[in-house]
Structure 1
Amino acid sequence: MVAREMAATKGRRLVIVESPAKAKTIAGYLGKDYMVESSIGHIRDLPNNASEIPAKDKDKAWARLGVNVDDEFQPLYVVDSRKKKVVADLKAKLKNADELLLATDEDREGEAIAWHLVQELKPKVPVRRMVFHEITRGAIERALGQTREIDSHLVDAQEARRILDRLYGYEVSPVLWRKIMQGLSAGRVQSVATRLVVQRERERMEFFAADYWDIVATFDPGSFTARLAAVDGKRVAQGRDFSSVGELKGSDVVHLDEATAGALAQALGDQSFAVRSVESKPYRRSPYAPFRTTTLQQEASRKLGYGAARTMQIAQRLYENGFVTYMRTDSITLSGTAVSAARAQVAELYGREYLPEAPRTYVSKVKNAQEAHEAIRPAGEAFRTPAQTGLSGDEFRLYELIWMRTVASQMRDAEGRSVSVRIGATAATGEHCEFSASGRVITFHGFLKAYVEGHDDPDADRDDRETRLPNLEEGDPLSVAELSPAGHETRPPARYTEATLVRELEERGIGRPSTYASIIGTIQDRGYVYKKGTALVPAWLAFAVVRLLERHFARLVDYN
């Protein structure tokens, strides 16, 4: 309706987006009075080699850099040789248009693409910026009625980052060529990410394992398991009590070795055990927030085995074809329309008892979060279930993940009870020993009916796991069905996976979520890091590069 009315009053309009797929989807929502074309990404950038430098600038000392450092860091932009035909085609289309609508993504890169298009096309017709978070008929029609000017602040922000990247890469990379090997590269975020991976490997190399023992017992009634927790009032040492060089951190714990644990188990074998204490308290778990870029990458890695780049490629296709909202976002908020759609599906699929009284809202805790967009969610005013989308393969699986997480975010808390039991006995050799056991029963699954988050630690318990203990009261006697010493060894810090490196970069405020996938891809393509299973392992080349950077460019790779 809006598209038809505006076309009738404005004449022919040229709409430019970044990708052909996006152009095709949008064209399907607009009438014949709209020409929808694609710029296929950026049309201009800083020159990549001497052949791209304009003749009038070739003799200038700063031309190779593409940034005039003597004149307020003015950038030199050139049209990519592969984009000259695209630009010529857009200019030809523009001659037949009465208005130019720039519908590139609503982020720094999208705003910059829009600005560069204006600079290069030099339109003589009115120019408006058209933005939307999802590609649906309703969203496109609303965007047509709410156009704006190009946001110069976003353009300046993108330009500043691009200039910084160029200065860093072009000044530091040649040092690596001279000192280590030709063809290497350094980057503002890439080098810090490489250093994080190398530093983790150094920690693993310097690690000394410590052995520690405890005792595992199976008690009746109920055949439940408990572990030795304290001896003579002192806590039994666990892995967290040892340093990275295998030394005990404090003196307020008991460190059992194999012989001591074995002797103590034998001394407890024929003794009487009784419940010393029972602590029961309510258990409540709230839903996880809807996805933002980084949490989608992390969860797709844990649950689907997708790398960050693969996740973003699939999410891009889902966005361009109108299935999900924009996938590069720091935001975890949902619009009122999206909340209503999620709540409607909760009531329909799970029942009204799973709906909280009031809609849930979420606030980002991420450093430097920029929340111009919504969270990543199914597109539209009414969500399609995965079965209703007609999707298959990777796209189906990622859409299902996004859909489940969004719906679950508007469901009631999971509720239950957690129980901690302490069991005591005195060994034949006189030691007062205390065992501990814990359990959890979920009485109302709430959002866990729809979605359970994955874990980076394979040994961690899922949020929906239940461990039932028998009904016990203080003073109840227990019999021992089995009692045996158990040995353990401290483990070095785990190598980063793509999911945990993304989380580390985000928590430290390094780079932007929209760049993490490409950064992780770059450090692998450059040969700095390779994959072993899901783990990211630094090559020896990475150690050499990081050592040089730490020694001579310490400030540039300082992540603290």
Structure 2
Amino acid sequence: MTTLVIVESVKKVEKIGPMLGNGYKVMASVGHVRDLPQKEIGIELPSYALTYEPTDRGKSIVAKLRAAAAESDRVILATDPDREGEAIAWHLAEMLRLKNPERVTFTAITKDKILAAFASPRPLDMQRVYAQEARRALDRMIGYRVSPALSDATGQRLGAGRVQSAGVRLVVERERAIAAFKSTQHYGAELVFNNDDATSWKAQWDTKPHLADGETYLLDDELGKLDSADLPVAHPCPTCSKPLRRIKGQHGFFWACSDRECKTTLPDAKGKPGERKAPPPPTGIACPKCGKELAHRVGTSKPVKRGMKPRPYDFYSCTGFPKCDAKYNTGPDGKPVFGDDAKPAQEVEA
């Protein structure tokens, strides 16, 4: 008894054949053997029935598979487990005229997985086949109807996809609705009448008699309350408690208060407000470039050679940074070294 097994790729033939052993003949369909016609849309309206024809490569492959199927007692379709593979198995069953096609799927090419899959074959899953047909039909309809219009509008030879075209259509419709929107102000009226017996009654203005057909009048109390809603602030300002905003500046991101009168700023720490470092102690030494006070700081030098450890060093820098980027080395007396012959900071020999 001979069983014909049809897979998609030639590589699987070489791997699966030895695992199944004698009595099995493994052959490959090499992808699709049948598809929509190349020069026609292949969709009949209004039923949306699809018309198929053999692919150029599929003609010779199907001829070989038919000959092998005629010499076999059983045919198993072992194409890929996705919708595309299910559709290929269905096309093979149609072209080979299999009465009761058997389907086998596996997710790993190991002997245990292969033998377990072949021990429990199943019929074709037509729901997956229909899903693949719907996707293929959408590809063809969008490609044949939208691509020419897109090419004419842009002056380039472009192809339209089923997903992008629908997404662009939604964006365009929404943008047109925004452009055509006219803002209107809606008002409501409610009167409260107090009776002599301490009771009261209300009367509301009915706007329906004043509206045209299809026109709506929005009176939403909950929507009006949003302006005064006490919504939590994600990052409150430490000075005034108003929201902080992350801003990209010339030297990177930083956080600033949303209140223009509040001048609070904080450094950025991985997308969140960081803590401002305490200012260095005053030195009383003025910067020769801008006149602002110099700060005594400690840094780490870059290694001169590979493998060397960085060395700490102290220096003076201007507190007017970033407008003034002056830096000075620390001399033996602990004061900054000025002068034209002074080396830049970090270049002093350790």
Structure 1 position 83 matched with structure 2 position 58: yes
**Between Structure 1 and Structure 2, whose CA radius of gyration is higher?**
2
% identical equivalent positions:
38
Pick from 34, 41, 54: which aligns with 1:65? 41
Q: Is the 8 Å Cα contact of residues 43 and 117 (structure 1) preserved in structure 2?
A: yes
Residues 1:118 and 1:235: Cα distance change in structure 2 (over 3 Å): same
Q: Is the 8 Å Cα contact of residues 78 and 103 (structure 2) preserved in structure 1?
A: yes
Q: Which residue of 1 aligns with 2:153?
A: 179
Q: Is the 8 Å Cα contact of residues 237 and 256 (structure 1) preserved in structure 2?
A: no
Structure 1 position 131 matched with structure 2 position 126: no
Matches of 1:65 and 1:104, distance apart in 2: 27
Pick from 35, 39, 43: which aligns with 1:45? 35
1:92, CA displacement in angstroms? 1.1
Q: Is the 8 Å Cα contact of residues 236 and 256 (structure 1) preserved in structure 2?
A: no
1:237, CA displacement in angstroms? 4.6
Structure 1 position 270 matched with structure 2 position 305: no
1:391-445 CA-to-partner distances (Å, cap 9, x unmatched) read xxxxxxxxxxxxxxxxxxxxxxxxxxxxxxxxxxxxxxxxxxxxxxxxxxxxxxx
Q: Which residue of 2 aligns with 1:21?
A: 11
Q: Is the 8 Å Cα contact of residues 66 and 75 (structure 1) preserved in structure 2?
A: yes
Matches of 1:137 and 1:108, distance apart in 2: 24
Pick from 128, 131, 136: which aligns with 1:162? 136
Structure 1 position 35 matched with structure 2 position 31: no
Pick from 94, 98, 102: which aligns with 2:73? 98
1:176, CA displacement in angstroms? 1.8
1:23, CA displacement in angstroms? 1.8
1:123, CA displacement in angstroms? 2.9
Residues 1:108 and 1:267: Cα distance change in structure 2 (over 3 Å): closer
1:234, CA displacement in angstroms? 4.7
Q: What does 1:437-452 correspond to in 2, within 5 Å?
A: none
Pick from 117, 133, 154: which aligns with 1:143? 117
1:191, CA displacement in angstroms? 4.4
Structure 1 position 239 matched with structure 2 position 246: yes
Q: Is the 8 Å Cα contact of residues 15 and 103 (structure 1) preserved in structure 2?
A: yes
Matches of 1:253 and 1:92, distance apart in 2: 87
Q: Is the 8 Å Cα contact of residues 239 and 264 (structure 2) preserved in structure 1?
A: no
Residues 1:237 and 1:96: Cα distance change in structure 2 (over 3 Å): same
1:106, CA displacement in angstroms? 1.2
1:83, CA displacement in angstroms? 1.7
1:250, CA displacement in angstroms? 3.5
1:294-331 CA-to-partner distances (Å, cap 9, x unmatched) read xxxxxxxxxxxxxxxxxxxxxxxxxxxxxxxxxxxxxx
Residues 1:239 and 1:118: Cα distance change in structure 2 (over 3 Å): same
1:430-469 CA-to-partner distances (Å, cap 9, x unmatched) read xxxxxxxxxxxxxxxxxxxxxxxxxxxxxxxxxxxxxxxx
1:22, CA displacement in angstroms? 1.5
Q: Is the 8 Å Cα contact of residues 234 and 253 (structure 1) preserved in structure 2?
A: no
1:74, CA displacement in angstroms? 0.1
Q: What does 1:161-240 correspond to in 2, within 5 Å?
A: 161-191=135-165, 232-234=239-241, 237-239=244-246
CA RMSD of aligned residues (A): 3.9
List gaps (5 residues or longer) in structure 2: 171-235, 250-255, 267-275, 283-315, 323-350
Q: Which residue of 2 aligns with 1:117?
A: 92
Residues 1:178 and 1:147: Cα distance change in structure 2 (over 3 Å): same
Pick from 248, 259, 271: which aligns with 1:251? 259
Amino acid at match of 1:108: R
1:19, CA displacement in angstroms? 0.7
Amino acid at match of 2:66: K
1:188, CA displacement in angstroms? 0.9
Alignment size in residue pairs = 211
Q: Is the 8 Å Cα contact of residues 241 and 249 (structure 1) preserved in structure 2?
A: no
1:484, CA displacement in angstroms? 6.1
With CA pairs under 8 Å and 6+ residues apart, which has the higher RCO, 1 or 2? 1
SS of 1:15's partner is strand
Residues 1:168 and 1:195: Cα distance change in structure 2 (over 3 Å): closer
